[in-house]
Amino acid sequence: MSFRELSHGWMLQHVTGDVPPAFASIATRAIPATVPGVVHTDLRDAGLIPDPYVDDNEQLLAWIGHSAWAYETTFAWSPDDESVHELVAEGLDTVAIVTLNDVEIARTRNQHRVYRWRVDGILREGENRLRVEFASPIAFAREREAVLGERPHSYVHPFNAIRKSACNFGWDWGPALVTSGIWRRIGTESWSGCRIAAVRPQTGVGGDPRRLRVEVEVQREALGPVTVRAEVAGTMLEAVVAEEETTAVLETVVPDAELWWPRGYGDPALSALVVTAGMDRWERRIGFRAAEIDTTPDDEGTPFVVRINGRDVYVRGANWIPEDTFFPRVTRDRLAERFDDATQAGMNLLRVWGGGIYESDDFYDLADERGILVWQDFLLACAAYSEDAELWGEFAAEAHDNVTRLSSHASLVVWNGGNENIWGWVDWKWRPQLKGATWGDGYYQRLFPAIVAELAPATPYAPGSPYGFTRYVHPNDPAHGTTHIWDVWNQVDYDVYRSYRPRFVSEFGFQGPPAWSTLFSVVHDEPADPYGPLMLVHQKAVDGNGKLERGLGAHLPVPQTIDDWHWATQLNQARAVAFGIAHFRSLHPLNRGAIVWQLNDCWPVISWAAVDSHGIRKPLWHALRAVFADRFASFQPRGGEPVLALHNDRDDDWEGAAVVRRMTLDGAERARAEMPVHVSARGSAILIVPDAVTSAIDTANEVLVADLPGSVRALWFFDEDPALALDAAAVTAVAEVAGDGYEVTVTARALAKDVTLLVDRVHAAARVDRGLVTLLPGETAVFRVRAPGGLDPAAFTVAPVLRSANDLVEGARIPSGAIVGT
């Protein structure tokens, strides 16, 4: 068998659609194209359009999604010893007519499927011409909506009428840069005798992590028995596929298999599985693990407990969106950087959200290798979907393709029916609009669970997120199953997180801008202004900047300059999310995890992400690293007084003593208590602090400090920052060249809250190892900066690079009417 990728010699042509006069030349010329790729990146590479991410170029280039385009190449072919020849397209975006040598091969209408067509009689010796013509996805979606019936959906375009990534039509964090193109590999494949059409390995069958079930599908040129063999971890299996059959199932216990564990619970051991059938060979690394989701009702409602190899896993996770609006630009190296961001922040799960894509093999390979659990949504989000035969057949085909493709990955532990659609049907006034029409319930309750049960029976399935797992409860009831918390951010102060007692939070978050260098690489308002017209192009949330401003609440003062606006809103984002997670962890074991919205961005934008699209970790990322630590302590109000809530997410007991001090912001100790600490492995505890320690005399000038074994610290302030006696001159800093960068040493003479270096303001390539460091009087912190040589080290020691909450409070003492630009 041989696969020949067709990646060279492609040309792109505009077919139909209005082209603005500024781009008129595009309509009349052939343009060199990259495959895999999309129209926008090809036009950009040819210098024919500006960067779609800059200023208001999104709107300037909207015509591209309203146009039809064609990709064409020629390739040489000559007959060989193989007898079957197929054209294989691993990803066409989206509505395409495929012709080979002027013969129509197929018409496609699903971005999320793999297509395979036999072309024996069409290939010819010598030069062959392959053409893929794409219709406008916007026009097609509107056309199908007219046929299938209008159904509720988010945003402008009817993405629920076409099988294309929903967020590609625009979302509250993403641009409407609607793509067309050959976005995954395309090529010819030749074979003889038989071909391995699919291999679906499953471990954990029946709950035994070492029990392996391998289902092998074969495609044959002629009838006759086929011997299928599988070998893994010293165990050999064999079966014969009779001539009237196409599938073999091999199942056994592999006694010598090492188990795969998520990070923090053991090694993510992988074993090579080799499958052969005739002359064909398939090889992957698999992990032996048993995955379970426990939703057994209890006295508190319905839990949602992820269990791997019989052990409960407390989930510290993030939601994942596509890493770039233009999917083919996402490389394995870029994904590896995001996995570094996840693991170094203490995460153990990524949820691949249902408005994006079924992620790449590279993504899943990295998850397997790093021990990161993956929750993969089926691709339905924030909309009602027709269950007519047209869409039902496409959903069935894409689910079959992707469950098969991803079934070998140990990291994949949840298939989820979709995002917020069941909640939408209950709460978002869909039913009057639908008037009894189908809305997608058949997919969540019948189609998807049946496909998962057939093709990946050892992988858990959930009908949706949020979902209560009990028929007669609200789908977003915090007492049952998974919960999305969005009144915080949209409507109320983040202290409302403490009113929730959720079993599992699968979405929640708070916005903040990207790094300064990222934001102002694409926003060029003069002067810079949070409400500037180009800034608002990069703020997709409804009234997003208004919510940012109102979200400061009593927590931080109203910023007076664009520099302070940027820092204050980044800081408030970090604090809001950390506040929520600290509360959720204090509820353990009632609460079994949280998945923050979101880890990453797809373009430079004000959003909920912890890492911006240039790979710069926002202050939120540093907050997540702190609150996702294996051992975590926080002060929480119980009965009107702060108690110390401890969570030990490690395999050994947490023992020693907690020293709790009440002290002034300039370092004078006013009360102290020492309490024994014993928190069992994977356990939690509440310590009651004596009243003499928790009762403040001067709320503006006092803080509670708890120091615990393992350098764990918790802080409690008796008032919000604007009321605190924070000193803007609390720190001094010195910097020097060190290794491949710089070291910045910051020393506090009074309490310095949330000291952070915004190092990209010195150089866009600069990165720093820590942030949001609160220093007590006399304490020192060393910040290590990776940055190009030749920079002035002193630039890292002054504003607007060196920031803290202290200087925001001091800045607010200067009267001013509004935020001003620089």
Comparing CA positions, the residue from 659, 721, 667 lying closest to residue 693 is 659
Residue 128 reports pLDDT greater than 60: yes
pLDDT > 60? residue 728: yes
In the sheet where 11-16 sits, what is the strand order? 31-32, 11-16, 68-77, 126-134, 95-100, 103-109
Domain 731-803 has CATH 2.60.40: yes
Identify the burial level of 759 via C-beta atoms within 10 angstroms of its C-beta, where 0-12 means exposed, 13-18 middle and 19 or more buried. buried
Q: What is the mean pLDDT of residues 602-622?
A: 98
Whether the per-residue pLDDT at 157 is higher than 80: the answer is yes
Return the pLDDT at 817.
44
DSSP secondary structure string for all residues of 50-80:
--TTSTTHHHHTGGGGGSEEEEEEEEEE---
How far apart are the C-alpha atoms of 103 and 108, rounded to whole Å?
15
Looking at domain 302-627, its CATH class is alpha beta
This prediction has a pTM of 0.96
The predicted pLDDT at position 393 comes to 97
With a CB cutoff of 8 Å and minimum separation 6, the contacts of 389 are none
Residue 820 has pLDDT above 50, yes or no: no
Give the CATH fold of the 193-286 domain: Immunoglobulin-like (2.60.40)
**pLDDT tens-digit profile of 97-123?**
999 999 999 999 999 999 999 999 999
CATH homologous superfamily for the domain 2-189: Galactose-binding domain-like (2.60.120.260)
- Closest C-alpha among 422, 402, 510 to residue 465: 422
Residue 812 — pLDDT band, cuts 50, 70, 90?
low
Task: Give the strand order in the sheet containing 767-768.
Answer: 731-738, 741-748, 780-786, 767-768
Place 640 in a pLDDT band, splitting at 50, 70 and 90. Answer: confident
Strand partners, 84: 191
| One fold for 193-286 and 731-803 | yes
Give the residues across from 773 on adjacent strands: 755
Mean per-residue pLDDT, 287-306: 98
Q: Which of 716, 718, 697 lies closest to 706 in space, CA to CA?
A: 716
pLDDT for 818: 47
Q: In this model, does residue 819 exceed pLDDT 80?
A: no
Note whether 719 and 798 are within 8 A (CB): no
In order, the DSSP letters of 127-139 are EEEEEEEE--HHH
The answer to whether residues 537 and 58 touch, using CB atoms and an 8 Å cutoff, is yes
CA angle 459, 116, 165 (to 5 degrees): 60
Residue 666: pLDDT over 60: yes
Amino acid at 686: I
Q: What is the pLDDT of residue 815?
A: 46
Give the distance between the most distant pair of CA atoms in the chain.
91
pLDDT at 606 over 90: yes
Helix (H, G, I), strand (E, B) or coil at 487: helix
**CA quadruple 214, 218, 223, 226: dihedral, nearest 10:** -40
Whole-number percent of the chain with pLDDT over 70 = 99
Q: Residues 667, 634: contact at Cβ < 8 Å?
A: no
Regarding beta strands 683-687 and 641-648, do their DSSP bridges make them parallel or antiparallel, or are they unpaired?
A: antiparallel
Neighbours of 274 (CB within 10 A): 13
Q: Is 166 helix (H, G, I), strand (E, B) or coil?
A: helix
Asked if residue 353 has pLDDT above 70, the reply is yes
The ranges assigned to domains in the chain are: 2-189, 193-286, 302-627, 631-718, 731-803
pLDDT at 474 exceeding the cut of 80:
yes
At 627, which helix (H) or strand (E)?
helix 619-627
Please state the rounded mean pLDDT for residues 164-171: 98
- Across the chain, mean pLDDT equals 96
Q: What is the length of the chain?
A: 822
pLDDT tens string 404-431: 999 999 999 999 999 999 999 999 999 9
- The model's pLDDT over 168-210, given as tens digits with 9 standing for 90+, comes to 999 999 999 999 999 999 999 999 999 999 999 999 999 999 9
Query: Count of alpha carbons within 13 Å of 470, Cβ hemisphere only?
Result: 21
Q: Is the pLDDT of residue 466 over 50?
A: yes
The class of domain 631-718 in CATH terms is: mainly beta
Tell me if 278 sits within 8 A of 196, measured CB to CB. no
Nearest alpha carbon to residue 164 among 92, 90, 98, 88: 92
Each residue of 488-507: pLDDT tens digit? 999 999 999 999 999 999 99
Over 80: is that where the pLDDT of 1 sits? no
Contact 468, 289 (CB under 8 A): no
Per-residue HEC secondary structure of 766-819 comes to: CEECCCCEEECCCCEEEEEEECCCCCCHHHHHCCCCEECHHHHHHHHCCCCCCC
Look at residue 648 and give its three-state secondary structure.
Answer: strand
Separation between Cα atoms, residue 651 and residue 683, nearest integer Å: 9
Given this model, what pLDDT does residue 185 score?
Answer: 98
Element (H, E) at 276: strand 271-277
pLDDT grade for 813, boundaries at 50, 70 and 90:
low
Give the pLDDT confidence score for residue 816 in this predicted structure. Answer: 44
For 561-653, list the strands marked E by DSSP: 593-596, 631-638, 641-648
The one-letter amino acid code at 701 reads N
The sign one gets for the Cα dihedral 804, 806, 807, 812 is: positive
Report how far residue 815's alpha carbon sits from residue 822's, in angstroms, rounded to the nearest whole number.
Answer: 17
The radius of gyration of the chain's CA atoms, rounded to the nearest angstrom, is 28
Q: Looking at this protein, which amino acid is placed at residue 115?
A: Y
